[in-house]
Amino acid sequence: MSGMKALGIDIGGSALKGAPVNTRTGRLLADRLRIATPEPLSPLQMSRAVARIARHFHWRGPIGIGFPGAIEGGCRIMTSANLHPKFVGVDGRKLFGRATGCPVSMINDAAAAAEAEMRFGAGRGFMGKTLLLTLGTGVGSALAYQGVVVPLELGHLPWRGRDAEDLVAASVRENQDLSWKKWGLRLGAFIQTLESVLWPELIIVGGGVSSKHEKFFKYLGTRARLVPAEFLNQAGIVGAAIWTLSTK
């Protein structure tokens, strides 16, 4: 079994979640541990929370971490729209590697979800152009084509005078108590804007809200085939874990 397991950790705006994953099948090997973060954690506090997840699973091995920001050079955190601003400029591989004593690979959280969905989930076997969107605190995005995943930051596309995610994230629907219809039509208009420049053949929608897809998919009106993520909100954990195989 050794070499087939990695700990996947998904850092999000309201919680971090982790579980050991079988990297050949994409299956979780234990129930995930979720640590809620009602206050934004500083990088040091976050590294302690990550270490807590590793300790919980008695982990000694590769760790993949999905982070909600642009990552450069496989390690450097360039943006932190929904987490503590002090993350900007931090080398995540070093920060979390020191805290856990394990080798760490960093990947954008939506790109991690795309890795999992394209390999084991809703995009399995599909080689055409796929747009994956994750709807949560922010809006995550990635394109996949011919087996290659490219992280994007479409949630920050200027749209209707704002950052798009300030208008269409799942958190906006909850915080502003929007009806599914109102939010769905707005999200649909945004996705149609994306379709006009990206021309995806398949759109996969992830994030916690994807489990309620029957409430809003009908309002989206996309040209491309639209499907919910199969891993729902576990794609980030699985994708971060399998990412460790690509970054030795």
Structure tokens at 176: 């502003």
Instruction: Establish if 233 lies at the interface with ligand BGC (CB under 6 A).
Output: no
Residue 5 or residue 151: which is nearer to ligand BGC going by CB?
151
Q: Where are the alpha helices (DSSP H) in the chain?
A: 43-56, 92-100, 109-120, 165-168, 170-175, 180-198, 213-216, 235-246
Residue 26 or residue 136: which is nearer to ligand BGC going by CB?
136
* CB 141, min distance to ligand BGC, A: 7
Instruction: Establish if 134 lies at the interface with ligand BGC (CB under 6 A).
Output: yes
Residue 79 or residue 102: which is nearer to ligand BGC going by CB?
79
For ligand BGC, the binding residue among 47, 108, 234, 244 (CB under 6 A) is: 108
Instruction: Establish if 117 lies at the interface with ligand BGC (CB under 6 A).
Output: no
Instruction: Establish if 140 lies at the interface with ligand BGC (CB under 6 A).
Output: yes
> What three-state secondary structure class fits 117?
helix
Structure tokens at 76: 């450097």
Instruction: Establish if 10 lies at the interface with ligand BGC (CB under 6 A).
Output: no
Give the Cα separation of 146 and 166 in Å (integer). 31
Partners of 64 in the β-ladder: 8, 105
Instruction: Establish if 92 lies at the interface with ligand BGC (CB under 6 A).
Output: no
Given the rule CB under 6 A, which of 40-48, 95-103, 130-138, 220-228 is the region that contacts ligand BGC? 130-138
**Residue count, binding to ligand BGC (CB under 6 A):** 18
Give the footprint of ligand BGC on residues 141-200 (CB under 6 A).
Answer: 153, 155-156, 165
Residue 70's contacts (CB-CB under 8 Å, 6 or more residues apart) are: 77, 78, 79, 108, 151, 153
Structure tokens at 44: 């040091």
C-alpha gyration radius of the chain? 17
- 126, amino acid identity: F
* CB 248, min distance to ligand BGC, A: 24
* CB 153, min distance to ligand BGC, A: 5
Sign of the dihedral defined by the CA atoms of residues 178, 197, 231, 98, in that order = negative
Residues in contact with ligand BGC by CB under 6 A are 68-70, 79, 81-82, 108-110, 134, 136, 138-140, 153, 155-156, 165
